[in-house]
């Protein structure tokens, strides 16, 4: 009984700390600023709240018009509205805000902060539960997943990443239980933020997981049908126009390269701003090729723990090849983090000390980005890239039967 109590303590403390942080951000300060007078409590909600207002007024054709969005923001936050660009996610995102006329923003944002923190805890637990046996490292890993820098950033900035981690965790848990099609349909929730959905779909595809990839397509079709039924085609037409506008959205997604955890940002950070475009896209292309190569190098793997490492490294590589991934979405790296810990815990790693150091460094990448601007290059992404290299190297070596001394001793 004592052992069970000791095992339970770390995750409970980790979860309680995240919820306590969310509670502080709910009650501290005055509306709408919250903790900081120069900020807005739960700022990410404001863009979608504005989108919901526009749709509720029946002005679907103005959903992505900057002037209308700024006017709505000013009405929501007089006298100093936050700076927020026209939202790039598809109209399905804004449709979530349609019930808002009955709920004041100040109430909704508090529900959002507590709800997203809770969703992150649920999703992180599912990611860990879907992973191979972590042994005595399980509870520390779960607690660390609960309070990872990405989760803290969700609360501090009011981003919706807690929901994305829940979709990811649910998908991976169903996949681990032999229901990849259903898992893919759950993962389809990520289509509400395409820059997160595409890397997961790409990972499933290059790994040959057709059922999971097909589930994402099927789930996406269902979401699209519901969106069209609820809001019609006009908003989608405007969204497509926005996406096709040369460079407009892509440039707005790439305005803070020191905060991105992508190869596009890493490469662009070494050249003048005038060269960000071609050099950044070259980095993204290298990431795409690297993801395919990693999947190919791990072909034929059947061992469950090694297969988890393969999925983790391929999915994280796919995220590095995304055009847009800020530090608050670093929770997308949780599957690779957990798989790395499981691999280290198994004693099979050939370079365990290096692997542990890189796994810890990658875990804190969401904090390291804060120093990137001062350092003059994207150190956080570089660390994640080296970590991917270590995971890929361990995967290839283990696939050839080369394992660490810890595994040999156990044998």
Boundaries of domain holding 318: 254-402
State the CB neighbour count (10 A cutoff) for residue 353: 9
Token pair belonging to 250: 């892509």
- 199 is a domain residue: no
- 309 is a domain residue: yes
Residues 126-181: tens digit of each pLDDT: 999 999 888 889 999 999 999 999 899 888 877 888 999 999 999 999 999 999 99
- 93 is a domain residue: no
What does DSSP assign to residue 260?
A: B
- 390 is a domain residue: yes
- Say which residues have a Cβ less than 8 Å from residue 45's Cβ, sequence separation at least 6: 105, 108, 109, 112, 158, 160
- 53 is a domain residue: no
- 242 is a domain residue: no
- 282 is a domain residue: yes
pLDDT of residue 4: 45
Q: Are 45 and 109 contacting, i.e. CB atoms less than 8 angstroms apart?
A: yes
CA distances from 402 to 204, 304, 352 (A): 26, 16, 13
Residues 304-330: tens digit of each pLDDT: 999 999 999 999 999 999 988 888 899
How would residue 108 be classed by pLDDT, with cut points 50, 70 and 90? Answer: confident
Q: What mean pLDDT do residues 177-200 have? A: 95
- 348 is a domain residue: yes
Q: Peptide bond preceding 113: is omega within 30 degrees of 0, i.e. cis? A: no
What does DSSP assign to residue 302?
A: -
Residues 29-77: tens digit of each pLDDT: 777 667 766 667 777 777 778 888 887 788 888 877 778 888 888 887 7
Count of domains observed in the chain: 1
First to last CA, the chain: 30
Q: What mean pLDDT do residues 8-16 have? A: 85
Q: Are 92 and 192 contacting, i.e. CB atoms less than 8 angstroms apart?
A: yes
Q: Which of 336, 295, 78, 94 is nearest to 193 (CA)?
A: 94
């Amino acid at each position: 009984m004592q052992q069970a109590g000791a095992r339970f303590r770390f995750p409970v403390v980790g979860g309680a700390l995240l919820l306590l942080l969310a509670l502080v951000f709910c009650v501290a300060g005055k509306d709408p600023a919250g903790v900081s007078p120069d900020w807005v409590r739960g700022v990410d909600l404001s863009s979608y709240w504005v989108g919901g207002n526009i749709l509720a007024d029946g002005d679907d054709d103005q959903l992505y018009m900057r002037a209308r969005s700024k006017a709505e923001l000013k009405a929501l936050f007089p006298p100093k509205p936050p700076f927020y660009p026209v939202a790039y996610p598809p109209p399905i995102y804004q449709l979530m805000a349609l019930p808002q006329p009955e709920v004041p923003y100040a109430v909704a944002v508090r529900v959002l902060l507590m709800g997203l923190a809770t969703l992150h805890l649920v999703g992180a637990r599912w990611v860990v539960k879907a992973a191979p046996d972590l042994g005595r490292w399980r509870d520390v890993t779960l607690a660390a997943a609960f309070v990872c820098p990405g989760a803290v950033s969700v609360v501090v900035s009011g981003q919706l990443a807690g929901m994305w981690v829940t979709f990811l965790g649910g998908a991976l848990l169903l996949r681990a239980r032999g229901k990849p099609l259903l898992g893919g349909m759950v993962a389809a929730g990520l289509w509400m933020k395409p820059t997160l959905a595409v890397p997961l779909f790409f990972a499933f595809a290059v790994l040959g997981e057709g059922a999971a990839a097909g589930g994402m397509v099927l789930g996406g079709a269902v979401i699209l049908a519901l969106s069209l039924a609820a809001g019609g085609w006009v908003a989608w037409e405007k969204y497509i126009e926005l996406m096709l506008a040369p460079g407009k959205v892509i440039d707005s997604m790439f305005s803070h390269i020191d905060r991105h955890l992508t190869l596009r940002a890493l490469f662009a950070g070494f050249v003048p701003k005038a060269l960000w475009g071609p050099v950044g896209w070259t980095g993204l292309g290298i990431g795409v090729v690297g993801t395919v190569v990693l999947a190919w190098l791990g072909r034929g793997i059947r061992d469950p723990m090694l297969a988890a490492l393969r999925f983790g490294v391929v999915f994280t590589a796919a995220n590095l090849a995304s055009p847009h991934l800020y530090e608050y979405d670093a929770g997308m790296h949780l599957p690779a983090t957990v798989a790395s810990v499981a691999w280290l815990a198994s004693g099979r790693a050939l370079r365990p000390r290096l692997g542990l150091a890189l796994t810890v460094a990658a875990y804190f990448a969401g904090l390291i980005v804060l120093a990137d601007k001062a350092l003059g290059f994207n150190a956080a992404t570089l660390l994640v890239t080296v970590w991917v290299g270590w995971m890929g190297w361990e995967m290839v070596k283990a696939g050839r039967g080369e394992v660490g001394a810890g595994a040999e001793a156990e044998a």
